Chain A
Amino acid sequence: MQRVLIIGATSAIAEAVARIYAKRGARLFLWGRSSSKLQAMADDLGVRGAVAVGHASLDVNEIQEHASMLDRAWNELGGIDVLLIAHGTLPDQHQCEIAVDIALREFATNATSTIALLTLAAQRMEQAGKGSIAVISSVAGDRGRANNYLYGSAKAAVTTFLSGLRQRLSHHGVNVLTIKPGFVDTPMTRDFKKGALWAKPSAVASGIVNALDKRLSSVYLPWFWQGIMIIIRSIPESIFKRLRL
């Protein structure tokens, strides 16, 4: 039986991942902001087959609370096999250009809080000597673009941090998975016009669980984003700066 801790659990992708683990009969602990949503989700996962579902409501930006919250999750589950960090926001890039406090707050939510959580969780996982850490980064972290580089740079920080953490923990039996979704049709992207490149949260979720099962290091979801990002990364900066992507 797998013991799964999900941070940012009420996000659409995280909820879809939780349903897959629930069907497998996992024990879950959910961490999110809205306790009424967490309760609704916990009831649902119970019906779907989860053996036990605990939850706690907390904002990830309250960094001083992280240690006690992680202790609580570790104690309730009796250890963690899978940690999924899925919280995030999609900042308004224009707002981030005109207000420093908004830019830094968005960076904190999408990068600093994740780094703080990973630092504490890595200590516990390293000690246990097993398990997996999976973090939802983004294709946006592969290269900064004019229309979302605050978000992109936060995800780039997360991706690079994970790369180093993976090297460190690989000697201790802990796998670190970087998840890079492309466009996903979720409440976070509800105002976007959807086209053929858009994926459903349930499809991305089964890709995540599959990558976790196989203990992969990094995965683009859906898979075709790997090809798209190879091309985008290979464009010289002198040309890239003139493009509107």
Chain B
Amino acid sequence: MRRVGRSWGRYPVTTEQVVTLLDRHAPLPQPDHGFALPIGNARSYGDSCLNDGGTLYAIRGLDRFIAFDPTTGILTCEAGVLFSDILDLVVPQGWFLPVTPGTRFITVGGAIANDVHGKNHHRAGTFGHHVLAFELLRTDGSRIRCSPDEQSDWFSATIGGLGLTGVITWATIALRRIASPWMSAESHRFANLDTFFELSQASNQDYEYTVSWIDCAAQGNALGRGLFSRANHAPNPSDAPASPPRQRIGVPVTPPLSLINPYSLRIFNWLYYHRQRKSVRHDTVHYQPFFYPLDGISDWNRIYGPKGFVQYQCVVPPTAAETTMRELVRTIGNEGGGSFLAVLKQFGAKPSCGLLSFPREGTTLALDFPLGDQRTLPLLDRLDAIVADVGGAVYPAKDARMSGPSFRKYYPSWEAFSRFIDPGLSSSFWRRVTE
């Protein structure tokens, strides 16, 4: 079936032939149109999950569990299984995902191909650290079983490999024990970036999950003010409310213009920062609103209007973190740009296992920018220059615009990686940054 492709950022718009994979034992169908690319649930923001003019192998049809041992927490499933399906199955049995990003509507295959991270990076590293094994199906019909000990070069090329090394058919992952579906969380209001770094340093030891939201519209003494959230899985379920909150609202249509502009942004951010009256708030919250606040609003990506948006996520090394973050936030604020979703977090020191993995030790910043605003793309180029200068990197899973030279600087292993690319596979992203 031919389709008009969109990723989560609704930009760029591409055309692909979609072939749904249904049987993990079957060989890959020959693409009618050019190169192919495996695609999961299309929650990557930019063009890393698109393949303009080519074929997409939709792995959502591979959505079967294969084995789960509730005594060890070892789960084997097909690559198209969603994180939400895993949570529905394992949380009642006392297990949780070892690492999860801010949406549960992603596939296991996509999580591996982007080596995703979460609020526990400083403790648990990336998703790839918890992958025990997987099978890679190549377009020539060969199958490679990969783990940290077998075909380990293929293992590290495929983790974070953007789907280019082959189709992941199944994977085995190690889950994490939990005592309840509840989180014991604290939210601290902080006045500026210095306080963020102090809070983060002080929290990383005792809290499994840390992240903060920052008001990217605040300037001067308040530069980088925000709310710092830290949490652990609640040890005891007894003090928790009876049932999880069931809220699901949606954005039913795409508004003709982006609802996000410098005015709405300033108001939203001010309200969000001042919503919390006390400087510290304690809560016991269900894991769903804690980890996936935006999953409760379907199609929230439509608020940026028909032109869509780009997300920008970068990481800068620890030595340069404080000065660079200040420079980045100031540059964004001066433009009146940025989003209501500016997120700041310190990554831990654990090296990622993928050749092209994004997470590395340092501080990461993520924001959305509406593409309807013509200042966005030049601004992001300026941010790229700042990040590249200090030896940082930008996240391909969220990117739709970084230049080839920037990518190759951020990911010096790209040439070593390209030897593992399946000759039948390619993506819009890969062509953009390497050709």
Q: Mark B386-408, 1 if CB is under 8 A from A, else 0.
A: 00000000000000000000000
Q: At the interface, yes or no: A164 with Cβ under 8 Å from chain B?
A: no
> Shortest Cβ distance from B42 into chain A, in angstroms?
16
Binds A, one of B16-24, B147-155, B240-248: B16-24
Say yes or no: B20 contacts A187, CB within 8 Å.
Answer: yes
* Chain A residues whose C-beta falls within 8 Å of the C-beta of B66 in the assembled complex: 40, 43-44, 47
| Residues B11-65 near A (CB distance < 8 A) | 20, 22-25, 61, 64-65
| A167 in contact (CB, < 8 A) | no
Contacts of A130 in B (CB 8 A): none
Within B53-107, the residues touching A (CB, 8 Å) are: 61, 64-68, 77-78, 89
Taking the complex as formed, is A36 at the interface, i.e. its CB lies under 8 A from any CB of chain B? yes
* Chain A nearest CB, measured from B425 CB (Å): 22
B202 within 8 A of A: no
Within 8 Å CB of A41, what residues of B?
A: 64
Partner of A34, one of B23, B65, B68, B89: B23
Q: Given A190-B1, A191-B1, are A47 and B67 neighbors across the interface (CB < 8 Å)?
A: yes
Contact check, A40 vs B68: say whether CB atoms are below 8 A apart.
no
Q: Which residues of B contact A37 (CB under 8 A)?
A: 22-23, 25
User: Nearest Cβ in chain A — how far from B27, in angstroms?
Assistant: 12
In the assembled complex, how far is the CB of residue B217 from the closest CB belonging to chain A, in whole angstroms? 39
Please give 16 more A-B residue pairs, beta carbons under 8 A apart, in addition to A40-B25, A47-B77: A36-B23, A37-B25, A40-B24, A40-B64, A43-B64, A44-B65, A47-B65, A47-B66, A47-B67, A48-B65, A48-B89, A187-B20, A187-B61, A190-B1, A190-B20, A191-B1
CB contacts under 8 Å to B, within A187-228, are 187, 190-191, 193
In this complex, how many residues of chain B approach chain A with their Cβ under 8 Å: the count is 15
Q: Whose C-beta in chain A lies nearest to the C-beta of B170? A: A40
Query: Which among A36, A47, A48, A193 has the highest number of chain B CB atoms within 10 Å?
Result: A47
For the complex, what is the distance from the CA of A37 to the CA of B68, rounded to whole Å?
Answer: 19
**Given the complex, which residues of A lie within 8 Å of B68, measured CB to CB?**
47
**Closest A-B pairs by Cβ, 3 of them:** A44-B64, A47-B65, A36-B25
Chain A's closest residue to B68 (CB) is A47
18 A-B contacts, Cβ less than 8 Å apart?
A34-B23, A36-B23, A36-B25, A37-B22, A40-B23, A40-B25, A41-B64, A43-B64, A43-B66, A43-B67, A44-B64, A44-B65, A44-B66, A47-B66, A47-B68, A48-B89, A187-B61, A193-B1
